[in-house]
Chain A
Amino acid sequence: MSTTGSSNPEYVNARVRARRAALFNDDEYRKLVRMGPAEIARYMEESEYKREINELGSRHSGVDLIEYSLNRNLAKHFNDLLGFSEGRIYDLIARYLRKFDAWNIKTVLRGVYSEASREEIDTDLIRAGEFDESFINRLLEASTIEDVITTLDGTIFGDPLEAAFEDFEETGVLVPLENAVDRTFYEELLADLPSSEPIDLYREFLEAEIDFRNARNALRLARSGTDIDPADYFIEGGQLFKARELDALVQDPEQLLTRIRDSSYGRELSGPLDELEAADSLIEFEHALESVLLKYSRRLGNVYPLSICPIIAYILMKEREVENIRAIARGREAGLSETEIEQELVIL
């Protein structure tokens, strides 16, 4: 578990492939959609999630049990990934998994801001990133926003957060801090990537992810009709948009859609874009974006079987599985019909 020394992509890929085979397939989803929360928990107990369900079964129940087990299982797998990878491959995986560090920091910030108890914050964390247990405990012990930021000093998030802290003190809302965390994550993601053919494709994939995120934010802003400055939410590093143009594009949704259609993603997205124009439903378009990204990562994994690409594909698929099961469980709890739940799922 270090960034120096030789890399072991073969070993990591062999393990990742075995784990990928353990993910739920369409048939299992179809079965799950017809079950109630208790049945889903029982079904999960007989699968990959056995240990987590048993561990958490005494403390939580119903949909909460499912959700916390899912998160814990996700964290276990991703920690394993970081644990057995070495050298360059570790660096590449860690870059992506810092997403969860960012998530945890935001959760802690929000928890401290809303004065939630330590246990409440604790259950919402996903311990999948690079931060280890003792560091997360130190974060949880912080009682003010300032403490949290001081604790983060020395990590990649330290300096940007300190810079954003002034804004926070002036405005009293968390948005500047959260934006600083997100932006640092994406900047670090693409910074100093070494150059080789699979890694160039990896970079292209990350850029696509950033583009899609920007597109989604822009569409949401355009829909909501609020006067928030889109540049605040803009993430650098993508190919599709520039910060300057985004403002004009958000004002004019037609032009925004044309822009996406004319881009290099146009071919894959043309179906969903037509639907978006016809049905006016943003959710389906967002799901379509996700599935395009998933397919993209899977294809990369097939092109370069012994590189970072299949590992990233696995990470995405695992995240997707967790979200799908959560959607099923929450949907069943809320009494949605099977077709409505199926619309919420992203299955390849």
Chain B
Amino acid sequence: MSLELASEFGNVVLQAGEAGGPALSELGAAAIAVGLAAFGAGYSQRAIGAAAVGAMAENEDLFARGLILTVLPETLVILALLVVILLL
């Protein structure tokens, strides 16, 4: 399945190449950059969120601290957005 998709994708890239411009437009590259950054942030939030909820279950006063720690990886996405906006 994924192999078929890959060859399909290859075809699309080739066709785009034949049309003259680069395979990936600048907007497309920017979208991938932000997307990857968001994926990384989400992956790290999975673990931090689980731990934060665990700590909150034991002691409710930790809500604020847990929230802050959970949103910290969000800075990754903001950085990526910043870079993309500056470059575009």
Contact = CB atoms under 8 A, between A and B. Distances in A.
B58 A11 contact: no
Contacts of A10: 47-48, 50-51, 54
Interface size class of B (residues with CB under 8 A): 10 to 19
The dominant DSSP class at the A interface is: helix
Contacts of B47: 10, 306
B50 A8 contact: yes
Interface residues of A, number: 12
Contacts of A19: 58
Interface string B46-70: 0110111111011100000000000
Nearest to B55: A14
A73 interface: no
Interface in A4-42: 8, 10-15, 17-19
B53 A11 contact: yes
25 contacts: A8-B50, A10-B47, A10-B48, A10-B50, A10-B51, A10-B54, A11-B50, A11-B51, A12-B54, A13-B54, A14-B50, A14-B51, A14-B52, A14-B58, A15-B54, A15-B55, A15-B57, A15-B58, A17-B55, A18-B54, A18-B55, A18-B58, A19-B58, A84-B54, A306-B47
Interface of A: 8, 10-15, 17-19, 84, 306
Given A13-B54, A14-B52, 11 more contacts: A8-B50, A10-B47, A10-B48, A10-B50, A11-B50, A13-B51, A15-B54, A17-B55, A18-B54, A18-B55, A306-B47
